[in-house]
Amino acid sequence: MYVKYSNIRLGSKRKNYLKEKELSSNIRSLKRDIQETLNEEYSGEFKEIELTVIKPSRGLTPKFNMDNIRDKEIRKILKANFGDNLRKLTTEEIQNNLCNY
């Protein structure tokens, strides 16, 4: 299983460098956990999926959007293990925040 990530930031960059560094560390951790979970639990054929990782404007918990994933088994695995990190984004939100990263 290969996971391709695209990143988007909601809001502007933080002024506090330490908070920004901690958020980046949390994002790396989330990506690693998603990859490991899918490698362990997904039993289907090898696939490449795309997830959008969202850097929030407030807080230190990164979210991800899985609207691009059509495989129901993968969606079920991600919802079960990372339900707190899911966020739906509208196309308008994505367009408005493309330049913020």
pLDDT for 69:
87
Q: Residue 101 above 70 pLDDT? A: no
pLDDT for 96:
76
pLDDT for 24:
94
Per residue in 79-95, pLDDT (tens digit) is: 999 988 988 877 777 77
pLDDT for 37:
94
Cβ-defined contacts of 20-28 (< 8 Å, 24+)? 22/60, 23/55, 23/56, 23/60, 23/62, 26/60, 26/61, 26/62, 27/53, 27/55, 27/62
Q: Residue 5 above 70 pLDDT? A: yes
Per residue in 7-63, pLDDT (tens digit) is: 888 888 888 999 999 999 999 999 999 999 999 998 888 788 999 899 988 889 999
Region 61-74 average pLDDT: 89
pLDDT for 61:
93
